[in-house]
Amino acid sequence: MPAHGARCALYQCIIRSTNQHGCGHILYLHHHGAFKMELFVELDRRHLDEAARQGLITEHQAGQLWAFLKTHSNEAPGFKTTHVLYYLGGLIALSAMVLLLDLSHEVFGGWGLFTLAVMYMLAGLGLTRHFLYKNALRIPAGISATFVVAMTPVAVYGLQTAIGWWENGLPLPPRFVVHDDTRWVPAELLTMLCALVMLRSFRLPFLVMPAAVAFWIMSVDLAPFFYANTVSGWQEQALVSIVSGLIMILSAFWIDLKTRPEHDYAFWLYVLGVAAFWLGLTLLDPETELGRFLYLCANLLLLMTGTLVTRRVFAVFGGLGIAAYLSHLAYTVFSDSVLFPVALTFIGLGIVYLGILWQKNETRINAFVTRHVFRS
């Protein structure tokens, strides 16, 4: 069998198997200037064994391929014991350093805080190079690089305190959180700049996370300057959070369309973008039923978007929003209605049937979307 024909037959076998087990996905990406349909599936050993039984590959090839996939899957972040230990250790180390910096700030003042933060940044930079270039451990390297970025606002705060920007100082850890004070903007801008420089230098996707967090916080910090006291404080922060979330989502989508990276640089932009958008949308809490229905529609749109771009974060937050709206209907609007649970049951069954129809026609739907929506 020619190599191309064997590859196509193997893909068909995997598609049938993954559809049966509910883990097959179609992903559309921009590749070399043109939109291209690619297969994105979650494989396990039984898929390769099925291909070997059908004669598409030999059992020896199946074993070799599985060993190769297991080796490379260790580089992808996931809920594994090793990775949990990595992230837990990084979180504890970061917390310990911030506590030590708090004590140092009380003893040495702003210049001492700035000096210690820079020393920690240099140490983190050395660990990043050690993990990445000498041991090829990308996840620990990403955590070390993120530690460097996380020390940036601490260093900026120490420098600002030393030159008198904070007259009375602030307790550490610095309030690098939602806070409408322009003195935090330099720390947020320099944090984003540091994250982008580190990302360009080391190509570690985890570095996108602190850059996205800094952008989100900065946008909310600047919220009062976008309005002339026309809305309340929490409303203006919610609206700005929605806009910043949309910017991050569109940026992540652009990265998916324009690049075909070996590593997923758009993941954290999707996660934080959807979180910012959904949180702002939920905090608005419209008082009318029409506004709440529009909230439901927005969450349904999130759910549909998740199926098109194959990102589960859309489905998670969209599902939470839909559940919140249904809870509102059950306990507020139709609290005394006997027919509402019955109607809700039929709606649920209808959605299940819609899922069956989607599974049967998923390939044709994705092909249609590729031709008519994503065509350049």
Pairing of strands 34-41, 24-31: antiparallel
Percent of the chain with pLDDT over 70: 77
Query: Is the pLDDT score of 283 beyond 60?
Result: yes
pLDDT band (50, 70, 90) for residue 48: confident
**What's the mean pLDDT in 298-322?**
91
Q: Mean pLDDT across the chain, nearest whole number?
A: 79
> Does the structure show a pLDDT above 90 at 297?
yes
The string of pLDDT tens digits covering residues 152-207 is 998 998 898 888 887 655 544 444 444 556 778 899 999 999 999 999 999 999 99
Say whether 22 sits in a helix, a strand or coil. Answer: coil
Angle, in degrees to the nearest 10, between helices 208-221 and 185-202: 160
Q: How confident is the model at residue 231 (pLDDT cuts 50, 70, 90)?
A: low
pLDDT tens, residue by residue, 342-367: 888 888 898 888 888 878 887 787 77
Q: Name the residue with higher pLDDT: 245 or 112.
A: 245
Residue 18: is its pLDDT beyond 70?
no
What pLDDT, on the 0 to 100 scale, is given for residue 192?
A: 96
Per-residue CA distances from 235 to 28, 184, 210, 223 (Å): 36, 21, 25, 10
Q: pLDDT value at position 336?
A: 78
